[in-house]
A and B are shown apart, each in its own frame.
Chain A
Amino acid sequence: MSNIDAGNQVSEHDLSLIEEEERAEKRRRWLLLLLLLLLALLACVLLLFIRYLRQPEPLPEMIPLPVDVNYPPHYLFSIYGVDKPVGVAYSLRNDRIYVAETGGKRLVKIFDRDGNPLGSFAPPRTMPGERSPVYLAVDGAGRVFVTDRLQHAIFVYDENGTFLDTILGPDLTLSEYVLKHVNNLRPDATFAYNQFEHVVYYKSPGEPERTLPTPEPAMWAPLGIRFDRTGRLLFTDVRQERNAVYLISADAFSPSSWRNFDPPVISFGSTGQGDGQFLFPNSAVADSQGRIYVTDGNNGRISVWDEKGQFLFHFGGGSGEGALSLPRGAAIDERDRLYVVDAVGQNVKVYDVSGPEPDFLFAFGDWGMGDGQFNYPNDIALDRYGRLYIADRENNRIQVWSY
C-alpha cells in the first residue's frame, strides 16, 4: 500500500514536472512570438527609415480627401531645383507636375507630385536666350502645351517632354506647314522651328536634314493657357493691338487634326481698361457652367464672360477685401472655387463663383522667404488629391499646399 502510495507520489511529481515544462514551453513560444513581432516591427521601422533617407519628402496621403471645406489650405512643403518659375501645371493622367522656368536654362521641368525630379525639356534647336516658356496646360492625353513669349508660339510635347509639334497661329501648326511644302513627307519625319532663325528644319529618318523658309508670322502673342473640363483650349493673346481670349474646340487636338489645323475659334475682348477690355490677360479658366474668368493683369481685376464670349461683368478691382493688385495665374476646382495668384499682393485669393455673384472666401500666404510665404508668385495648379502647387518666382520654388 505504501509502495502504491509512493508510486502515486512519484507519478504526481512527474505530472507536475511535465505541466511545468509545458507552461515553460508555452511561455517560450509566447516570448518567441513576441520577439518575432518586435523584429518585424523593427524591420518596418528600418524600411521606413531607409525610404525616408532615399526620398526625404513628406509621405504621400494614402486616401484622397474630398475638399469640401471653405477654410484656407495649409502649407506642406516646397519643390526646389527650379529657377524663377512662372508657370505650373498638373497632369491628371499621371499625377505629374510641369514647371516653366524663366531663369537659368529656361526649361520646362517635370516632377512627381511629391517633388521628385523626372526630367526636363525645351523647344528643339533653341538656346536659353531664344526661348521663354511661361504658362502650361496638360490635356487628357497627357500632352503638355507651353506658351513661349519669345518664340510667339505654343509648343506641344508628350508627357515625357518629347517634342510633338508647334502651334504657330490659331490656324497653323508646324507639321501642317511642312506638309504643305514637302511632298511625300514620311509620317515619322521630325521638324523644328526657331523664331530667331529664318528657316524651318525637317528630317526624315536616314536622310539629311533639310530646311524651308519660315511661314508668314501670325498676328498673335499667346500667353496664358488652360484646358477647360470639356477639353477646350483657352489661351490669352497679349499682342499690342488686341488683347483677347481665344477658345479652340477640343476636337482640334486629335492626332489627325494636327496636319490640317483649321479649327473653329471663338475670340473676345480688346485692349483697354473699359468693360470687355483687357490689359495683359494672363489666364482664362471656365467654371462648371461654362462661364469664363480672365485674370486681367494690369487692370487688376477678374473679367467674366459667358461661354459664347459675351462680356458679363468684372470683379476684384478697386480696394477692400478680395481686391486684387496684379492677378496672374488662376485655377478653378470642382466646387467652382476660383483661385487667383496675386503677384504683388504676394498671396492667393480664393472666390466662390458657384452663385450668380462671386463671393470672396479667403486669401492665403504673405510676403517672405519662409515656409508658406511668397516672393512674387505667378501661377497655380490643383491636383485631384486636394493639393495646390504655386509657382513662387523669386523664391525659386514650387510651394505645395494642401487641405
Chain B
Amino acid sequence: MRKLILATVVVLALALTMVGLASANGGPHGGYTATTDACAGCHRAHTAIGPRLLVRSSTYDLCISCHGSAGAGANTNVEDGYYLSSRDDPPGGADGNVGAANTPDNAPLLGGGFQYYQGITVTSSHDPTGTVLAAWGNAVDRGTTADLSEGLSCASCHDPHGSPNYRIIKATVNGVAVSVDQVDEGAAKDYDTEQWGAGMSNICAACHVAYHETGADVGHDTTNQAYGGGFTHRVDMPWNGDALTDPLIGMGTNNPETVGFGGYTLPLAESGTADRVVCMTCHLPHGTSAQMTGFADPAFDPSGPQGPIPAGDSSLLRLDNRGVCEVCHQK
C-alpha cells in the first residue's frame, strides 16, 4: 500500500512538473484547461483552411501573426531576430527578475532571424514556409540531400502546444526522438543567454544526421560510414578536449564562451565540468547576416562539392567568413 501511495505521489509530481514546463513559454502554447478557448486561436473544427484544422494553410504566416516584426502578439520577433521586451532591467538582472523580465530591449534572439539579423538582411536562413522538402545529409551522404517527411515549417522543430524541451522544441522531430534540456542559470536566466544542455545538437541531427559526428577521433568519420564517410568537424565534445594538446590544431586555452578571441565569443552547451561544442556553437538555426567574402564565399568555388550554393550564402554561420574557426583555434 505504501508503495502504491509513493508511486502515486511520484507520478503526480512528475505530471505537475511537466505541466509547468509545458506552459513555461506562456501564451497559447500550453497551460490548457478543460474549457480552454486557446484552440480557436489557430484551429477550426469544421471550417479549417489548412491541414490539422489550421485556420491558415501556411504555418509560418500563422506564427508570424504574433512572432513577426510587428510584435503584435509576442516579444520573440523571429523575423528580425530580436527579443523586443521592454527597458525594465539593468544588465545582469540586478533587481532579481528572471526570464523575459530580465532580458534587455532588442536582445538578439539565440536562433537568429528569418529576414534580418542584428539589423542586416540575412545571408542564409532556414526556409520555414513549407516549400523545402529536402535536407543536406538527411540519412544520405554529406553534401547531398534527401526528402524530409514534410515540408519544413516552424512546427517542424517547435511544438506550438508546449513541450518539456527547451524553447518548446518538439519531442519528436522528423521522426527522431529529441531531448534538449533547459539549463537554469540562476540570476542570468533570460532570453539572451544560451541555456541549453548538451543535447542541443539532437534537434539538428534529426534532419542533418550525416553531420552529427561525435566520435573521439577528432575530425575523422568513425560513426557515419553509412553516409559516405569522409571527414567532418566533431560535435558534442568538451571545448577543452584533446584539441588542447594537439599543436597542429592550435587550440587556444581560452574558453570560447567566456573569453573568446578578437572580441568574439561562441556559445557552448551546459554540461557539468566541461561545456560542449554543439551545432549551435557555430550556426544560428533561424538565419544569420554573417558576410562571406574571398575564400569563404561559395562563389569562390562554384564547382565545389557543395554544389550550387548562392554567392554570399553564409550557411547559417554566426560570424563573418570563418570567424567561428578562429574563436576556438586562434591560428
Contacts and interface: CB of A to CB of B under 8 A. Distances in A.
Interface of A: 84, 86, 102, 106, 127-130, 132, 134, 149-150, 152, 195-196, 217-221, 223, 238-241, 279-280, 282, 297-298, 300, 317-319, 323, 325-326, 328, 343-346, 367, 375-376, 378, 394
A217 B65 contact: no
A325 B105 contact: no
B25 interface: no
A326 B120 contact: no
A164 B285 CA distance: 40
Interface string B88-119: 10000000000011010110000000011011
B311 interface: no
B146 interface: no
A357 B55 CA distance: 30
Interface stretch (B12-20, B79-87, B232-240, B274-282): B79-87
A86 B82 CA distance: 19
A129 B121 contact: yes
A319 B101 CA distance: 32
B88 A219 contact: yes
A218 B65 CA distance: 26
A220 B62 CA distance: 26
B65 A223 contact: no
Interface stretch (B37-45, B197-205, B255-263, B313-321): B37-45
A240 B72 contact: no
A343 B87 CA distance: 28
16 contacts: A102-B69, A102-B70, A102-B79, A132-B70, A132-B71, A150-B77, A217-B87, A221-B71, A223-B71, A238-B75, A279-B27, A298-B66, A300-B37, A376-B56, A378-B70, A378-B72
B40 A319 contact: yes
Contacts of B85: 221, 239-240
A318 B38 CA distance: 9
B74 interface: yes
Contacts, number: 126
Contact of B74 (A280, A282, A376): A280
A109 to B, nearest CB: 16
Contact of B105 (A102, A134, A217, A282): A217
B179 to A, nearest CB: 29
A280 B73 contact: yes
A129 B119 CA distance: 4
Interface residues of B, number: 42
Nearest to A328: B72
Interface of B: 27-28, 37, 40-42, 49, 55-56, 58, 61-62, 65-66, 68-75, 77, 79-80, 82, 84-88, 100-101, 103, 105-106, 115-116, 118-121
A323 B44 CA distance: 13
Contact of A343 (B65, B74, B118): B65
Contacts of B58: 394
Contacts of B70: 86, 102, 132, 134, 149, 378
B165 to A, nearest CB: 23
B84 A221 contact: yes
A388 B58 CA distance: 27
Contacts of B121: 129
Given A102-B79, A223-B72, A280-B73, 20 more contacts: A84-B68, A86-B70, A127-B119, A128-B116, A132-B77, A132-B80, A134-B72, A149-B70, A150-B77, A150-B106, A219-B88, A221-B86, A238-B75, A280-B66, A297-B73, A298-B73, A318-B37, A323-B40, A344-B41, A376-B61
A150 B84 contact: yes
The 7 closest A-B pairs by CB, nearest first: A239-B86, A129-B116, A217-B87, A129-B119, A149-B71, A132-B69, A134-B70
Q: Which residue among B27, B42, B73, B118 has the maximum number of chain A CB atoms within 10 Å of its CB? A: B73
B41 A325 contact: yes
A16 B121 CA distance: 93
B191 to A, nearest CB: 10
Given A150-B106, A319-B40, A297 B84 contact: no
A367 B72 contact: no
A84 B69 CA distance: 10
B55 A344 contact: yes
Contacts of B87: 152, 217-220, 239
B88 A134 contact: no
Nearest to B35: A318
B63 to A, nearest CB: 11
Contacts of A132: 69-71, 77, 80
B105 to A, nearest CB: 6
Contacts of A128: 116
Contact of A282 (B41, B69, B72, B101): B72
Given A127-B119, A344-B65, A196 B37 contact: no
A240 B86 CA distance: 6
A220 B86 contact: yes
Nearest to B27: A298
A326 B61 CA distance: 14
Given A282-B72, A297-B73, A326-B65, A219 B116 contact: no
A217 B55 CA distance: 39
A219 B90 CA distance: 11
A279 B37 CA distance: 14
Contacts of A378: 70, 72
A378 B72 CA distance: 9
B65 A238 contact: no
B86 A241 contact: yes
A346 B74 CA distance: 19
B74 to A, nearest CB: 7
Nearest to B104: A217
A367 B121 CA distance: 31
Contacts of A300: 37, 40-41
Contacts of A346: 55
Contact of B42 (A127, A282, A344): A344
A109 B103 CA distance: 33
Nearest to A195: B106
A144 to B, nearest CB: 17
